[in-house]
Amino acid sequence: MSTITLKVNGAAHTVDVEPMTPLLYVLRNDLGLRGPRFGCGLGQCGACTVIINGVATRSCVTPAGNVRNEVTTLEGIAINGKLHPLQQAWIDEQVPQCGFCQNGQIMTAKALLDRNPHPTDAQIREGMSRTLCRCMTYYRIQAAIKRVVKEVA
If the CB atoms of residues 97 and 147 are measured against another protein, the closer one turns out to be 97
Residues 98, 114, 115, 116: which binds another protein (CB under 8 A)?
98
Contacts of 26 (CB under 8 A, 6+ apart): 4, 6, 15, 17, 64
- Of 100, 151, 105, the residue nearest 131 (C-alpha): 105
Q: How far apart are CA 100 and CA 95, in angstroms?
A: 12
In the complex, what is the shortest distance from the CB of residue 149 to another protein, in angstroms, rounded to a whole number? 15
For another protein (CB under 8 A), the number of binding residues is 58
- Of 129, 40, 126, 28, the residue nearest 71 (C-alpha): 28
Residues 15, 31, 44, 70: which binds another protein (CB under 8 A)?
44
Lay out the site mask for another protein across 62-81 (x = CB under 8 A, - = otherwise).
-----------xxx--x---
Residues 4, 8, 37, 71: which binds another protein (CB under 8 A)?
37
**128 touches another protein (CB under 8 A):** yes
